[in-house]
Amino acid sequence: MKKVIVIALVFLMGTMLFAAGAKETVVDDTPTIRLLTDATGIDDKSFNAAAWRGIVEFYGDTVENTPGRGKYYDVVTATTQDMYIPNLKQAADEEYDVIMVTGFTWADALGEVAPLYPNQNFVIVDVDWVGHPNVMEFIYSEEEGSYLVGLAAALQAKAEGIVNPRFGFIGGVPGGTITKFEMGYIQGLLSVFPNAPVVDYYANDWGKPELAKAQAKNWYDSGIYAIFSAAGGTGNGTIAQAKEYRLQGRNVWAIGVDSDQHEDGIYEGTRSAVLTSMLKRVEASSLYALNAAKAGTFKGEVVKMSLVDDGVGYSQANSELKPEVVAAIEAAKADIISGKIKIYGTYRDALAARAVPTGLAALDD
């Protein structure tokens, strides 16, 4: 009798385990995602890093601890652009629920691949022209957040008593998206110093910090007070040079982009060479797409993120950013949201409104 009971119990437990296993397989509706990046990867401390941060957050993980990697999510970095199409096709063949690419350099490749996999969900950030029913596209009002950091740099210079301050902007690859950063930044600067000299430089690369570092050194040596870089990993060179000079006691600033780069600028104790950062919350795109996939509402659409929905903003992490500067930025933020302050995102429109100087290297799409 005992033997029968034991056998029965073993059978019952096995049945329960089998049922439990089957149940887990059926109810685990957690979507899977592969992030595809350019050569700068998720260690760019900027754009790609923000997308990755949103992905791991969705699964309850952190950038430092990713137990779900390989099961629910992963990332593949393309060393060259000719790997874009093969990487897209491979991810689609492996049947990820969502495939996400970051940056307008992916647009042509995605436009070619997406129609080949009509049941595959694709996401692209910084593009609104792919236009396929299975592609969710995210664009940001970068000019709004950039206006705020331009305002921060100018107001900080004014508070510090800098006479006739000069400013710089370093871009990665020229195009409409980066132009929005530059236009907003300059309009923020000129709202405080209408005649302030502003210089710009485009590295034509997202992953060469040595180019930004060399340019930043030249500019700082010539008297530039602050430099805003919207150049992916290339912009890390600006921060590196600002750190060196602030360690030497020179009053120069770098401005970060996309992610809060305050910690990247730390040069002594808790002091950072990054005055503020233009926050472009790309992680919000990752979360939006994954939540849509989980809810079964994913669709091809253009989603715009702005100050209104906290899609862009600025960092207050640096304690040296003066309180009166923060107060003025917050007031300007409210005026942008209300429409009282008008910001032009294209060079064409900004020139027509006489809101920026002529002779800049910025390009519209």
CB 41, CB 50: distance < 8 Å: no
Instruction: Show pLDDT as tens, one digit a residue, over the chain (365 residues).
Output: 323 333 333 344 444 444 444 444 456 889 999 999 999 899 887 789 999 999 999 999 999 999 999 999 999 999 999 999 999 999 999 999 999 999 889 999 999 999 999 999 999 999 999 999 999 999 999 999 999 999 999 999 999 999 999 999 999 999 999 999 999 999 999 999 999 999 999 999 999 999 999 999 999 999 999 999 999 889 999 999 999 999 999 999 999 998 899 999 999 999 999 999 999 999 999 999 999 999 999 999 999 999 998 899 999 999 999 999 999 999 999 999 999 999 999 999 999 999 999 999 999 98
The reported pTM is 0.81
CA dist 236 to 42, 232, 262, Å? 14, 8, 12
Encoded tokens for 242: 């600002």
Q: Are 170 and 362 in contact (CB under 8 A)?
A: no
Beta bridge partners of 277: 256
From residue 365, give the alpha-carbon distance in Å to each of 12, 201, 230, 347, 352.
67, 18, 17, 10, 17
The residue type found at 43 is D
Nearest to 58 by CA among 279, 292, 259: 292
Neighbours of 258 (CB within 10 A): 28
Which strand ranges, in their side-by-side order, compose the sheet holding 253-258?
198-202, 166-171, 224-230, 253-258, 274-280, 312-314
The whole-angstrom separation of Cα 103 and Cα 185 is 20
CA–CA distance from 9 to each of 20, 22, 120, 208 (Å)?
A: 16, 19, 45, 65
Report all structural domains of the chain as residue ranges with CATH numbers, in order of start. Answer: 33-140+283-305 (3.40.50.2300), 142-280+311-352 (3.40.50.2300)
Helix (H, G, I), strand (E, B) or coil at 147: helix
**All residues at 6 or more sequence positions from 203 whose CB lies less than 8 Å from its CB, including other chains:** 170, 171, 172, 211, 212, 215, 231, 234
Say if CB 146 and CB 183 are below 8 A apart. yes
Contact residues for 46 (Cβ-Cβ < 8 A; gap 6+) = 40, 232, 233, 235, 236, 256, 257, 258, 259, 261
